[in-house]
Chain A
Amino acid sequence: MTNGERSDSIVRGFALSSVFWLVVGLVVGLWLAAEMIFPALNLAPWLAFGRLRVVHTNGLVYGFTIAGIFAGGYYLLEKLTRTRLAFPGLAKAQLWLFNAAIALAALSLFAGMSTSREYAELEWPLDIVVAVLWVMFAVNVMGTLVKRREKQMYVSLWFLVACVVTVAVVYILNNLAIPVSLTKSYSAYAGVNDANVQWWFGHNAVASVFTFPILAMFYYFLPKSTGLPIYSHRLSIIAFWSLVFGYLWTGAHHLMLTPVPEWIQTVALAFSLFLIAPSWASVINGFYTMNGNWDKMRSNYLVKFFILGITFYGLQTIQGPTQAIRALSGHLHYTEYIPGHVHMGTMGWVTMVISASMYFMMERISGREIHSVKLANVHFWLILVGQLLFTVSLWIAGIVQGAMWKATNPDGSLMYTFLDSVAAMYPYWAVRFAGGLLYFAGILVFAYNLYMTSRSTPGTKWSAASAAGSRAACVPSGEPG
């Protein structure tokens, strides 16, 4: 599809919205990280940790990631179906409603209106808006698939459909609630059932938002960026079906060693370990796609993002299932290890793939080459180093924390008080904050580079040949690209 056609403005709108909410979410995240080291920054009530944390998670899950999914989803949907969006006007309305909803969501969470259910904190009026937004997206995706001109569906479309269906199911079922006022509601479930449904949602939100659509983008944009077909389409389809079969059973691994029935915990543990196989099928597919062409890591700036992204996905999907093992869960749950694990997935896998996909899309939408390959490389290295500092320091912190909580004296009394374990965290929190600063700097570079690429200023018209040439030219001999 060439520059200026129907869905370009919609994709551009969602891409820029995504980056805007990414910056907002990271500013809040940095403030939170600073609060850990300087508790005086905990300025209650609006800037209290409890409120800011949900603004951070919701802003980045729903603001950044979902907008990135809308942008990438609509782009690859048109390309792979070889037709236009079924309802472009609806998608445009969706863009405006989406941004209004995220702004309202942020305000309501800042104001303390929260259901207190993780990743489902929005109160019921906003839940209805989210459901309407998702229906708008689903209607466009399904409508476009129905009128597609390509009979066989490439695996990215399968993953996109899975995203549409599973987000709808888990979000609606978990958010069933009884409203008592415009700003307050209570869950339709109670006790252990409530916890079980909540974490069935919580973990499948990870599948539906951080896995299916990001894999859809990975399977589309890596081959498109390199000109190399994926190693095995049938392996990708088996990976897809295995994830679909396995993911829905894993939520209770968040509830290990709790009053949830033990057999439910065991089922969740078994399926969590099973998921290593389909996850690594995609990792292997990505690596084998590059087989014999690893030089592209140096000559094509996009490839680094995709390959490091899938590498972090692979590490994440080893770490996650092993954390579900009871003995490890008993040691690591509720410690800093868990945010370390989550942030490898979000700051490594999700953001790397969405960033690279946006560079790819924006070049073609604007009809121009990327504003600066050098800045894209600076962006890559800053977020890579920032993410590693952030996550590795938290893994170590979590192991230390868990060990301190469980250490006992010969007489059986606790060796450390809880406050001892808090004091021991300060050096790790400082490193985490430094990593976050580096990461944020990288994202600012990304936002600037993407915005400049999206502008309709005079420049070199994009073409595959010129873009490839410029990428190669911007990589000094002997330096990584």
Chain B
Amino acid sequence: MTPRALAYLLFTLVLAGVFAGIIAYYFNRKRYERVEAPKHRMLADDDPPPGSAGDGREG
């Protein structure tokens, strides 16, 4: 195997490993509540709190 082919193979394996890691991270049962929380919070009232930067200026 040429160095170039080896580099391609390693790059592919690293990408596949990172991808597998992402799936394992997000589908870990321990993190279920935390990972799913934003889908509920985005439904809540999303008015920015009073006094946030630039309050009241029309863009």
Contacts and interface: CB of A to CB of B under 8 A. Distances in A.
Given A82-B48, A234-B36, A229 B26 contact: no
A455 interface: no
B48 to A, nearest CB: 5
Nearest to B46: A79
Contact of A153 (B38, B40, B59): B38
Interface of A: 1-2, 4-10, 78-80, 82-85, 88-89, 91-92, 147, 149-150, 152-156, 220, 223-224, 227, 229-230, 232-234, 237-238, 241-242, 245
Given A83-B52, A152-B38, A237-B26, A6 B58 contact: yes
B59 A7 contact: yes
A155 B38 CA distance: 8
Contacts of A7: 59
Given A83-B48, A84-B52, A245 B19 contact: yes
Most chain A CB neighbours (cut-off 10 Å) among B23, B34, B39: B39
B3 interface: no
Contacts, number: 93
Interface residues of B, number: 29
Contact of A10 (B26, B41, B48, B59): B59
A80 B57 contact: no
Given A88-B59, A92-B59, 4 more contacts: A6-B58, A78-B48, A84-B48, A88-B54
A80 B44 CA distance: 10
Interface of B: 15, 19, 22-23, 26-27, 32, 34-43, 46-49, 52-59
A230 B39 contact: yes
Contact of B47 (A2, A147, A237, A238): A2
A80 B46 contact: yes
Contact of B43 (A5, A9, A223): A223
